Structure 1
Amino acid sequence: MAFSKKGVFTQDMIDEIKSAGIRRDQARQLVIDLETRGSRAFPLFLECLQETGQHSLAELLHNGAPPIQLQPATPTQVVRPVLQPIPVSSPMDVDKHIKDEVPLHPVPRPTTTPSPSPEREHIRPRPQGRPRRDSIQCYKMDASPCGHCLIINNVEFESRSDLSNRKGSNIDCDKLERRFKALNFIVEVKTNLKQRQIKHELSALCKMDHSQYDCCVVIMLSHGTEVSHSRFPGAVYGVDGLHVPVQNITNYLNGKNCPSLQGKPKLFFIQACGGGEKDTGFEVSPDEVQPSIGGADADDQTDAIPMSSSSDSLSMSDEPDARATLPTPSDILVSYSTFPGYVSWRDTQAGSWYVEILDRILEENAATDDLGTMLMMVNHEVSQNSAKGIYKQMPGSFNFLRKLLYFQSQA
């Protein structure tokens, strides 16, 4: 494709445009993506149209559509109330005047019931003992089943990939399958997928009708690496040694590509390394010291692969412009097993630190705590571990949820 040769789009972006549906949807996706590719993208787009013989379309886009003449509206006179300045005798009285100020012309409240917002709002009853957070709404999470949960578990890697097999990952997979079934999700497990198969499964999940569900979960268990990014860092490997960037994984389920999940939480849990750097930690005061799960003799492995080259082909001069026009994801949370750039530790007998603690925290606290609070608990407990008595690990998340999320719980 000419766009790829001129550096306007990467191959991954072209594949995503082609999978958008019918040609009209593909064209719409092309225009939307074109706006995010910097100041050089549109002139190169016109140049590609000229080279492929579409001169009329190129000329129309270059010159623009004829302007539409609009009749000016009749101005209406607005009567504004005259406000008297508040006398201030001293700096100490300023806050008092502001707090006691009363509107001179109070506006009466409407007596009719307002029409419901198109967005799904839900106020969940607060169980006894839960802290009051009345100013923050909760996501609706009472559908049965609650939603789909896709687990991709890559254990055995092809020899040509130069990636080792991930012993202990099946333990992680079994724990998370049981846990999310207990949280009333429809769980589907896919094992040992190549890059294109990962994309196919995510595309199939995107095309499902999620209107009767309240949430969607994707769990990736694999080797990982650090890649250049504009939103979510990191990438996950297929068993063929080819990776899928995390930001591409989230794109499948965002509100633009999966309309039936608009306004609903999309959760991504990534058990994979964010890079090859090992963290030896730093000294703390004695009251911070706690026993570690990992020890000097523990059979710990990492899911680390060296940093991959950038997936962006635009020049650095266009980078600030491209980033400035990217939309902010909403209702998405990506939980990483480790800080971007660092390795993630996995015990070949007990599974990964992150999944082991995440599973236990969900079991013990899902009935009373929201997801953000529970992930903070996971962060704290994983940070107390050490591999071979030396190395540390720090999970974290990119949280673009707008409300509190409480899972369904049998308790």
Structure 2
Amino acid sequence: MDLKHRQILQRNRLNLITALSPADICDGLLSKGVFTQDMIDEIQSKITRRDQARQLVIDLETRGSQAFPAFLECLRQTGQHALAELLQCGDGARLPPSVPIQPSLIPLPVRKCVTSIKHTGFTWIYLLGIPTRQRRDSIQCYKMDASPCGICLIINNVDFDPDCDLKDRTGSDIDCDKMEKRFKALNFEVIAKRNLKYKRIRHEMASLAKRDHSAYDCCVVIILSHGTEANHNRFPGAVHGVDGPAVPVQLITNYLNGQNCPSLQGKPKLFFIQACGGGEKDTGFEVSPDEVEPSLGGIDDQMDAIPISSSSDSLSTSDELDARATLPTPSDILVSYSTFPGYVSWRDTQAGSWYVENLDCVLEENAATDDLVTMLMMVNAAVSQISAKGLYKQMPGSFNFLRKLLYFQSSLS
């Protein structure tokens, strides 16, 4: 698809997800060769009309140059003229209140209980499409409608002891303020802690694990600190206390697993780590000019890393054994890292870190319509286009052990 057409779809994503009737145009897109039968099947497998519309728009952006005009033609043929005209103009304006949202009958697959796996069947029922996001505790989406939704703990390490050879993290308070405001807006109870030593980090995680989360649907931990590499068997990296020693990320996640925190069993546990994963600097590789839209970092970018001569050897044997001995299968856990393991993470002393700045922006603009994993890919794309000092790059990533889609609460809910 042409870039200008993709941009029109992206500007109007909310309008499309809100008002599009996918069931009416799937046959047309199939007959015109825009979609394959497999793509249609995937769209129809989504339970709600809104999720079907979201999948249709995502797939549409991957098709050829004729996909956009064919899509407009299908919209007009099925009576969805308001959407067709909106896309034709390409102005990104919101639909006026007078434009009706067409309800549609959506096939919902329901698995029948049978005694033999070989004879498992499906029954199809029909539901009236509802133009709001469905947050039900099903195989598709996590339940995320508690109020507050959950606890968000922010650990913000800024001022480090002079003897530990770690620079102060100027600009981290900006990151902390952004995350505190953002997760309050997403209906979380936010607890912010500043300048925690190694033992205090573990104490705060233990206290969080001991709380009763029965009334909540989710738990979030955000750590802003220096980081380093560490031995691990699931989640890489470690984050430093302001006194120097580092806590392995896998030990931090272990506090909230189903064994150590029963009231969070089956509920999503989210960890956002703004810290270096090591001391390597990524200079990137050359691509054609139309592949990226490069963006320069700030004038005073710093690294959230320890000197390269330091390593995970500073971690005590007891910490490593603790992390290995009690970590079960990490279901319902997602750890989002600001950078690839082994590499530095960049922070502007005046604007905050690249990762947190873009995470905040993506959540603000897309939390009403997109799931968490999709939004993290948007963060990856945005950060990957920035360059520190016109040379160094950064690539965020995540270890995802979620079993369902996760949609945050928003004003459009």
Q: What TM-score do the two structures reach when normalised by structure 1?
A: 0.64
Amino acid at match of 1:160: D
Deviation per residue, 1:65-119 (Å, 9 max, x gap): xxxxxxxxxxxxxxxxxxxxxxxxxxxxxxxxxxxxxxxxxxxx779xxxxxxxx
Aligned to 1:201: 204
Deviation per residue, 1:322-351 (Å, 9 max, x gap): 989974210000000000000000000000
Answer yes or no: is the 8 Å Cα contact 1:371–1:404 preserved in 2.
yes
CA distance 1:310–1:327, shift in 2 (3 Å): farther
CA distance 1:265–1:325, shift in 2 (3 Å): closer
2:244 aligned with 1:241, yes or no? Answer: yes
> What SS does the corresponding residue of 2:192 show, helix, strand or coil?
strand
How do 1:167-246 and structure 2 match up within 5 A? Answer: 167-246=170-249
Answer yes or no: is the 8 Å Cα contact 1:228–1:312 preserved in 2.
no
Aligned to 2:279: 276
2:169 aligned with 1:166, yes or no? Answer: yes
Q: For the residues of structure 2 that align with 1:292 and 1:126, how far apart are their CA atoms?
A: 42
Q: For the residues of structure 2 that align with 1:218 and 1:196, how far apart are their CA atoms?
A: 17
Aligned to 2:361: 360
Q: For the residues of structure 1 that align with 2:232 and 2:303, how far apart are their CA atoms?
A: 22
CA distance 1:127–1:313, shift in 2 (3 Å): farther
Amino acid at match of 1:292: S
CA RMSD in angstroms comes to: 2.7
Aligned to 2:408: 407
Structure with the larger helix share: 2
2:142 aligned with 1:139, yes or no? Answer: yes
CA distance 1:126–1:278, shift in 2 (3 Å): farther
Alpha-carbon deviation of 1:130? 8.2
Q: For the residues of structure 2 that align with 1:126 and 1:410, how far apart are their CA atoms?
A: 20
Q: For the residues of structure 1 that align with 2:324 and 2:248, how far apart are their CA atoms?
A: 17
> What SS does the corresponding residue of 1:309 show, helix, strand or coil?
helix
How do 1:29-178 and structure 2 match up within 5 A? Answer: 128=131, 137-178=140-181
Q: For the residues of structure 2 that align with 1:126 and 1:380, how far apart are their CA atoms?
A: 33
Q: For the residues of structure 1 that align with 2:244 and 2:314, how far apart are their CA atoms?
A: 16
Q: For the residues of structure 2 that align with 1:395 and 1:376, how far apart are their CA atoms?
A: 9
Largest Rg, 1 or 2: 1
CA distance 1:313–1:172, shift in 2 (3 Å): closer
CA distance 1:325–1:220, shift in 2 (3 Å): closer
Aligned to 2:377: 376
Aligned to 1:350: 351
Answer yes or no: is the 8 Å Cα contact 2:294–2:387 preserved in 1.
no
CA distance 1:292–1:126, shift in 2 (3 Å): farther
Alpha-carbon deviation of 1:289? 2.9
How do 1:209-358 and structure 2 match up within 5 A? Answer: 209-294=212-297, 298-305=299-306, 306=308, 307-309=311-313, 327-358=328-359
Q: For the residues of structure 1 that align with 2:132 and 2:213, how far apart are their CA atoms?
A: 33
Q: For the residues of structure 2 that align with 1:401 and 1:249, how far apart are their CA atoms?
A: 17
Q: For the residues of structure 1 that align with 2:130 and 2:297, how far apart are their CA atoms?
A: 36
Runs of 4+ in 1 over 3 A off after TM superposition: 125-131, 310-314, 322-327
Amino acid at match of 2:387: S
Amino acid at match of 2:263: S
Q: For the residues of structure 2 that align with 1:345 and 1:126, how far apart are their CA atoms?
A: 45
Alpha-carbon deviation of 1:308? 1.7
> What SS does the corresponding residue of 2:386 show, helix, strand or coil?
coil
Alpha-carbon deviation of 1:311? 5.1
Aligned to 2:13: none
Q: For the residues of structure 1 that align with 2:315 and 2:184, how far apart are their CA atoms?
A: 36
Deviation per residue, 1:140-179 (Å, 9 max, x gap): 0000000000000000001111110000000000000000
Structure with the larger strand share: 2
Amino acid at match of 2:185: A
Q: Percent identity?
A: 77
Q: For the residues of structure 1 that align with 2:336 and 2:406, how far apart are their CA atoms?
A: 14
In the alignment of these two chains, the number of paired residues is: 279
Answer yes or no: is the 8 Å Cα contact 2:254–2:326 preserved in 1.
no
Q: For the residues of structure 1 that align with 2:256 and 2:324, how far apart are their CA atoms?
A: 20
Q: For the residues of structure 1 that align with 2:211 and 2:129, how far apart are their CA atoms?
A: 32
Alpha-carbon deviation of 1:126? 8.4
The 10-residue stretch of structure 1 (303-312 or 191-200) with the greater mean CA deviation from structure 2: 303-312
Q: What TM-score do the two structures reach when normalised by structure 2?
A: 0.64
Alpha-carbon deviation of 1:233? 0.3
How do 1:384-395 and structure 2 match up within 5 A? Answer: 384-395=385-396
Q: For the residues of structure 1 that align with 2:277 and 2:129, how far apart are their CA atoms?
A: 37
Aligned to 2:58: none
Alpha-carbon deviation of 1:286? 1.8
> What SS does the corresponding residue of 1:216 show, helix, strand or coil?
strand
Q: For the residues of structure 2 that align with 1:365 and 1:223, how far apart are their CA atoms?
A: 29
Alpha-carbon deviation of 1:285? 1.4
Amino acid at match of 1:383: S
